[in-house]
């Protein structure tokens, strides 16, 4: 091992590429790279040259190029991965092991396996998005290259490069991949015809897999599975290809701390560089249209307090009465001390209002969604999920480790086709009622008919529909007959109901199962009884008085008509019913510039960017409420037209 501190050395990248000819065509013979200190450059060049010219290659090297580049940034030090061995008797068993691990992350593991065993050989790796099977590398023939890493585990790494050591070099490469932001797992089968081992790197362990292919098989490949919610493909690729890393046992706690700090700073800086950092404003008033923040007054068009019930006196009075009677805290989980008469009342009111036998109340909509999906789905369930589903629904599928098939937005034919192809024991169709980014209403009735014809369960998250659409505000399912209602209706109390919390409307059997086995319900402290009382009061208010619902729906219709006439939304969106209106903008930088200019004019409008929407498809997201006036809406439309068509017409697009 090196005796000096490796991060104080001026490190160099030494690369070797050897080529020859095969059938009169250029042929890659050998290639290697290492990060080395100045004192090791000579022996490294000699070792790499010896490796290029060594006998035993399929083709003799006719040209050897060695390049040296001094690093301009300090390498990150990471530990090598711990290793294990998976003995498989033959390629069939080995590939089944690959499929079993892949199925944790992708809906079609056989497709990823084909990249490893049948696809055209590429020098780099395929980058695949977990949950969708989507290929993300910019050039599928080139793939993603993993470069700029050095070995701190040997005393003379330069000399050792003279001979290829499959296992050792693979562990080094996999260690860098595993340390990259957003990477979940890596799978590799060597394209060396006579090297019959591969590896799986998952959960921080490198596992060698024997007998992955027959001796003489020239096929091979690598697949890197990534989570794009943690890092975008460009950030991951840049880290793998350009960020220097030194790999060896971490021997000092200070090195570990530095490594962690550098890792976190790198993630944050990459997020900022992509224009994705958020700086929320701080409110000094309630969520009224004429709101006040620490930056001054603002005409608010980004609040989900759609009906203004957060300031309704009847709701506030119920909460005040309850805090005096039951206190401010639940004191525990729902299964210990956390269930009060207020919780029972909230669940009774929700279930009766929305027409279900039971409602299970939790601390937030996000928690209710994750807890419900994690309970219903598992690796033996295929989830058919709409491409525009909320992050909480996506996270629920991931936590359940269910096989997830993502279908195009609101595409009933795609859902029908996906259900035809289900091979698991059970299937579940997952959608929103009113979509959180566009405000369009899902065709729930037709969807339920298709799903039930296939024996599938239907779960609808109507967080933005309950209280806003339907003749009396009962959401996207209000007018549906019993045969077309979803099996599970998810909702939240933090939007139109003006309080907090989330809930699942279900039958008696599922309600009992959830109260005993849903992890988000069992292992979380219950919401405050004060919150539960506010929810019950809000529902009771809407059961007897729908004037606010009517006002909201009138505002939505007027705003959509005016925005369509101003060519700010497509004509097809003019008749959508949801209180969320999507204004397409494009690049993140243009959306942020529009948001800032609107704020300068006194309007608070959200610029929604990746990962809430696709990269490069940023939007301005308008949220209308029952308390907006005709004048408020006129100011909004005029300002949007001027900002998007005038002031920002020269902004990058």
pLDDT score at 438: 87
Q: Does 263 appear as a known binding residue? A: no
Check pLDDT > 80 for residue 263.
no
437-455 confidence digits (pLDDT tens) = 889 999 999 999 999 999 9
Predicted TM-score (pTM) above 0.75: no
Which fold is adopted by the domain 313-544?
A: 3.40.640
- CA–CA gap between residue 559 and residue 575 (Å, rounded): 10
Q: Please list, in sequence order, all residues whose beta carbon lies within 8 angstroms of the beta carbon of residue 439, skipping any fewer than 6 positions away.
A: 464, 573, 576, 577, 578, 579, 580, 581, 582
Q: Does 190 appear as a known binding residue? A: no
Domain residue spans in the chain?
12-70, 76-248, 290-303+547-645, 313-544
Check pLDDT > 90 for residue 18.
no
Q: Compute φ and ψ for 224, nearest 5 degrees.
A: -110, 120
Q: Does 67 appear as a known binding residue? A: no
Q: Does 139 appear as a known binding residue? A: no
- As beta bridge partners, residue 177 has none
Q: Please list, in sequence order, all residues whose beta carbon lies within 8 angstroms of the beta carbon of residue 57, skipping any fewer than 6 positions away.
A: 18, 20, 29, 30
Residue closest to 526 by CA, chosen among 330, 371, 340, 348: 330
Residue closest to 122 by CA, chosen among 239, 14, 28, 243: 28
270-292 confidence digits (pLDDT tens) = 777 666 777 888 999 999 999 99
Q: How far is CA 608 from the centre of its chain?
A: 15
- CA–CA gap between residue 35 and residue 602 (Å, rounded): 54
Question: What mean pLDDT value characterizes the chain?
Answer: 88
Q: Does 436 appear as a known binding residue? A: yes
- CA–CA gap between residue 162 and residue 542 (Å, rounded): 77
Q: How far is CA 434 from CA 441, 475, 566, in A?
A: 4, 8, 24
297-328 confidence digits (pLDDT tens) = 999 999 999 999 999 999 999 999 999 999 99
- CA–CA gap between residue 536 and residue 542 (Å, rounded): 10
- CA–CA gap between residue 233 and residue 137 (Å, rounded): 7
179-194 confidence digits (pLDDT tens) = 999 999 999 998 877 7
Check pLDDT > 80 for residue 154.
no
Q: Does 392 appear as a known binding residue? A: no
H or E, element range at 27: strand 25-36
Three-state secondary-structure class, residue 585 = strand
Q: Does 495 appear as a known binding residue? A: yes
Which pair of structure tokens corresponds to residue 426? 């059970």
Q: Does 614 appear as a known binding residue? A: no
Q: pLDDT confidence of 119, banded at 50, 70, 90?
A: low
* Terminal Cα distance for the chain, rounded: 51
Residue closest to 185 by CA, chosen among 121, 79, 300, 106: 106
412-435 confidence digits (pLDDT tens) = 999 999 999 999 999 999 999 999
Q: Does 390 appear as a known binding residue? A: yes
Q: Where are the beta strands (DSSP E) in 283-335?
A: 290-293, 296-300
pLDDT score at 633: 97
Give the CATH architecture of domain 290-303+547-645. Alpha-Beta Complex (3.90)
Let me know: does 635 contact 299? Beta carbons within 8 Å: yes
Let me know: does 105 contact 83? Beta carbons within 8 Å: no
DSSP state of 307: T
Q: Does 31 appear as a known binding residue? A: no
Check pLDDT > 60 for residue 625.
yes
Across 25-34, 101-110, 231-240, least confident range = 25-34
Q: Does 463 appear as a known binding residue? A: yes
Between 54 and 376, the more confident residue is 376
Q: pLDDT confidence of 156, banded at 50, 70, 90?
A: very low
> Rounded to 5 degrees, what angle do the CA atoms 90, 91, 93 make?
70
- Count Cβ atoms within 10 A of the Cβ of residue 378 and give its class: 0-12 exposed, 13-18 middle, 19 or more buried: middle
Across 103-107, 296-300, 457-461, least confident range = 103-107
Check pLDDT > 80 for residue 60.
yes
Q: How many CA atoms does the CB half-sphere of 436 hold within 13 Å?
A: 24
Within 10 Å of residue 577's Cβ, how many Cβ atoms?
Answer: 17
């Amino acid at each position: 091992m090196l005796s000096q501190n490796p991060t104080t050395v001026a490190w160099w990248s030494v690369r070797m590429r050897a080529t020859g000819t095969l059938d009169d065509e250029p042929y890659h013979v050998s290639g290697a790279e290492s990060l080395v200190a100045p004192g090791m450059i000579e022996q490294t060049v000699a070792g790499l040259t010896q490796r290029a010219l060594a006998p035993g290659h399929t083709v003799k090297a006719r040209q050897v190029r060695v390049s040296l580049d001094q690093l301009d940034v300090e390498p990150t030090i990471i530990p090598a991965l711990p290793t294990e061995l998976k003995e498989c008797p033959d390629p069939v068993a080995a590939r089944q092991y690959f499929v079993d691990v892949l199925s944790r992350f992708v809906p079609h593991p056989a497709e990823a396996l084909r990249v490893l065993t049948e696809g055209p050989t590429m020098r780099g790796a395929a980058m695949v998005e977990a949950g969708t099977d989507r290929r993300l590398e910019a050039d599928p023939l080139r793939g993603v290259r993993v470069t700029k890493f050095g070995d701190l585990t040997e005393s003379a790494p330069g000399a050792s490069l003279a001979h290829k050591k499959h296992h050792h070099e693979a562990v080094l490469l996999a260690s860098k991949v595993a340390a990259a932001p957003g990477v979940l797992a890596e799978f590799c089968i060597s394209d060396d015809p006579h090297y019959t081992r591969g590896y799986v790197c998952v959960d921080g362990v490198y596992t060698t897999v024997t007998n992955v292919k027959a001796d003489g098989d020239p096929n091979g490949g690598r697949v890197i599975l990534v989570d794009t919610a943690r890092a975008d493909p460009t950030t991951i690729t840049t880290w793998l290809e350009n960020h220097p890393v030194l790999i060896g046992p971490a021997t000092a706690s200070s090195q570990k701390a530095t490594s962690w700090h550098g890792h976190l700073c790198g993630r944050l800086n990459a997020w900022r560089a992509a224009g994705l950092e958020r700086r929320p404003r701080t409110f000094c008033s309630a969520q009224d249209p004429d709101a006040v923040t620490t930056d001054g007054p603002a005409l608010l068009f980004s609040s989900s307090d759609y009906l203004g019930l957060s300031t309704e006196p009847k709701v506030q009075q119920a909460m005040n009465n309850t805090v005096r009677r039951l206190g401010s805290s639940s004191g525990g989980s729902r299964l210990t001390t956390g269930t009060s008469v207020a919780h029972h009342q909230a669940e009774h009111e929700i279930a009766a209002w929305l027409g279900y036998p039971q409602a299970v109340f939790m601390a937030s909509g996000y928690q209710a969604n994750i807890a419900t999906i994690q309970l219903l789905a598992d690796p033996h369930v295929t989830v058919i999920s709409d491409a525009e589903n909320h992050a909480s629904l996506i996270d629920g599928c991931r936590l359940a480790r269910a096989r997830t098939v993502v279908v195009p937005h609101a595409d009933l034919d795609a859902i029908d086709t996906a259900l035809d192809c289900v091979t698991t024991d059970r299937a579940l169709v997952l959608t929103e009622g009113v979509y959180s980014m566009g405000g369009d209403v899902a065709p729930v009735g037709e969807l339920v008919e298709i799903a039930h014809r296939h024996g599938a369960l239907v779960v609808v998250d109507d967080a933005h529909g309950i209280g806003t659409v339907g003749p009396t505000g009962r959401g996207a399912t209000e007018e549906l007959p019993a045969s077309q209602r979803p099996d599970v209706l998810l909702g939240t109390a933090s939007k139109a109901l003006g309080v907090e919390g989330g809930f699942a409307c279900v039958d008696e059997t599922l309600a009992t199962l959830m109260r005993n086995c849903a992890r988000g319900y069992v292992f979380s402290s219950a919401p405050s009884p004060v919150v539960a009382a506010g929810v019950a009061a809000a529902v009771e208010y809407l059961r007897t008085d729908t004037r606010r619902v009517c006002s909201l729906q009138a505002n939505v219709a007027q705003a959509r008509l005016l925005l369509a006439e101003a060519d700010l939304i497509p004509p097809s969106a003019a008749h959508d019913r949801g209180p969320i209106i999507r204004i397409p903008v494009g690049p993140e930088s243009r959306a942020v510039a529009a948001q800032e200019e609107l704020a300068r004019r006194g309007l608070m409008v959200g610029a929604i960017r990746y990962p809430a929407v696709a990269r490069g498809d940023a939007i301005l997201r308008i949220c209308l409420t029952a308390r907006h006036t005709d004048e408020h809406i006129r100011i909004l439309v005029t300002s949007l037209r001027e900002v998007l068509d005038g002031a920002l017409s020269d902004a990058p697009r």
